[in-house]
Structure 1
Amino acid sequence: MAVQQDAPVQAEVIVLTLRRHGRVLTLPVLLLLVLAAAGGYFVGSFAESWMNWAAGLGGAALALVLGIGPLMSWLANRTTVTNRRVIVRRGFFVQRRIEVPLSRVREVRSRRGPLQRMFGSGDVELVVGADPATVLKDVPAPLALVDALQELIERNYLSQQAELQV
């Protein structure tokens, strides 16, 4: 059975896609550089070959856990803002998806610590009634994101009011 629609439904459009600020990768990249330098210096300098293998494998394991892991985590977490909702995807092996319809958002808050202000990032909270707030952590240009979200929420509200009057 087909559903009839009187008014055309506006298509969902991706407005913005973002990840956490890139500064969260500073420490993992520095650790990778230090591990590469230490590996280049120490591997091959031991008398026994098993010691060289152990140092190389230990350095590779540390690089995987301390450098590549945070990079993959950063790549696996992203936020998409559309004209209807905010979609937060988190996780590499176990993926979580949180969808917040803009029609349910009651308040948009931003919070910036001193270090975040230095680097131009901050946290944005989407308050949805009695539910716990959805926090977008360490996003770049949080004030611009708050302004864009408030504009989208207002447009969404006006389009819903126009649909009700038709």
Structure 2
Amino acid sequence: MIRTIITTVLAAVSVAALTSTAVPGAARAAGVDRESAHAAGTTAAAPGPGSGSTDVSPQAWTDCPQTYFCVWVDVNYQGPRGQFQGSNASWGMFDQAACRSGTWHDCASSGFNNGTSGMGVVVWDESGQYGLTRCLPKGWRHPNFTQVHWEGTSTPINDRISSNEWSWNCHY
């Protein structure tokens, strides 16, 4: 009798877990969509310091949740939205079908830093938080990344962000 009850409960939990990961936006870990990370064990799949997720519907920049850096595939906050919480060494870990690479790597064209506690977000043009940088203070937003340049250059950040890290030393 007890074995039957345990088996039934385990089966129900398994079905619930499978259902939540199969329905877009349903699976959450620390407020992050599990579907966003294409590799098992990435920071988006489990609670931790770094995370990212994607929404498939266009939304206004004002819909960016608190504590996230939100980016959109297209200018003017259009197209699919990605949201990053914590530091992420590679945006290539986060799926986005609307992007050339199939991930958020080199795919952001507009964005809003709605991060936490006044922290800025430093973005890099290479994975591993390496290369050209741009620091975007909390509350910073721009509808067209072709008009925003890497620090000390005339090269736009549009479709060139590959990693991020949160920082207290961010002044635009």
With normalisation by structure 2, the TM-score equals: 0.25
Q: Give the number of the structure whose residues are more often strand, by fraction.
A: 2
Q: Which structure has the bigger radius of gyration?
A: 1
Q: Give the number of the structure whose residues are more often helix, by fraction.
A: 1
